[in-house]
A and B are shown apart, each in its own frame.
Chain A
Amino acid sequence: MTETTTHAMALSPQDLPKASSFFKPHRIFLMLLFATLVFCIAWFMRWDWLPRYLPRLGSGMLVTLAMLFSTAALGFLFAVPLGLVQVTGPRPLKWAASWFCTIIRGTPLLLQLWLLYYGLGSLFPQFPAIRQSFLWPYLRESWPYGVAALTISFAAYEGEVMRGAFAGVPAGELEAGRAYGMSRWTLFRRIWLPRALHRALPTLNGETVLQLKSTPLVATITVVDLYAVISRVRQETFLTYEPLLLLALIYMGLTGLLVIAFKYFENRIPTRGA
Chain B
Amino acid sequence: MFKTGSLPDAGRQFMTDSAQAIAVSDLHKRFGPLEVLKGVSLTAKKGDVIAIIGGSGSGKSTFLRCINMLELPTAGTVTIHGETIAMKKDGHGGQLPADRRQVQRLRTQLGMVFQSFNLWQHMTILQNVTEVPIHVLGKSKAEAIETAEALLRRVGLYEKRDAYPAFLSGGQQQRAAIARALAIQPLVMLFDEPTSALDPELVGEVLNVIGDLAKEKRTMILVTHEMKFAREVANHIVFLADGLIEEQGPPDAIFGAPKSERLKRFISSIH
- A contact set with B: CB distance below 8 Å: 6, 170, 172-173, 175-183, 186, 190-191, 194-195, 198, 269-272
Contacts and interface: CB of A to CB of B under 8 A. Distances in A.
Contacts of A170: 118, 121
B266 to A, nearest CB: 28
Interface stretch (B10-18, B129-137, B220-228): B129-137
Contacts of A179: 68, 70, 107, 110, 112, 114
Nearest to A183: B104
Interface string B159-181: 00000101100000000000011
Contacts of B107: 178-181
B134 to A, nearest CB: 9
Contacts, number: 70
B114 A176 contact: yes
A87 to B, nearest CB: 18
A172 B116 contact: yes
B255 interface: no
Contacts of B112: 176, 179-180
Contacts of B118: 170, 172-173, 175-176
A181 B110 CA distance: 9
A182 B132 contact: yes
Contacts of B132: 180-182
Nearest to A274: B166
A140 to B, nearest CB: 46
21 contacts: A170-B121, A172-B114, A172-B118, A173-B118, A173-B119, A179-B68, A179-B70, A179-B110, A180-B180, A180-B184, A181-B105, A181-B106, A181-B107, A181-B108, A181-B184, A182-B132, A183-B101, A198-B122, A270-B164, A270-B167, A271-B166
A22 B104 CA distance: 62
A5 B26 CA distance: 52
Contact of B164 (A177, A195, A269): A269
Most central of B100, B132, B164 by chain A CB within 10 Å: B132
A194 B120 CA distance: 10
Given A179-B70, A191-B120, A195-B120, A272 B167 contact: yes
Nearest to B133: A180
A190 B131 contact: yes
Q: Which 7 residue pairs across A and B have the least CB separation, nearest first?
A: A181-B108, A181-B107, A172-B118, A176-B118, A179-B112, A272-B166, A180-B132
B233 to A, nearest CB: 22
B122 A195 contact: yes
Nearest to B109: A181
Contacts of A182: 104, 132, 135-136
B176 to A, nearest CB: 12
B121 A173 contact: yes
Nearest to A269: B122
Nearest to B105: A181
Contacts of B116: 172
Given A172-B114, A179-B68, 18 more contacts: A170-B118, A173-B119, A173-B120, A175-B114, A175-B118, A176-B112, A179-B112, A180-B107, A180-B136, A180-B181, A180-B184, A186-B135, A186-B136, A190-B135, A191-B120, A195-B120, A270-B166, A272-B167
A246 B73 CA distance: 67
A123 to B, nearest CB: 46
A202 to B, nearest CB: 15
Nearest to A194: B122
Nearest to A273: B166
Contacts of B68: 179
Most central of A6, A180, A181, A191 by chain B CB within 10 Å: A180
A160 B245 CA distance: 47
A170 B107 CA distance: 21
A74 B131 CA distance: 29
Nearest to A196: B122
Interface in B75-118: 100-101, 104-108, 110-112, 114, 116-118
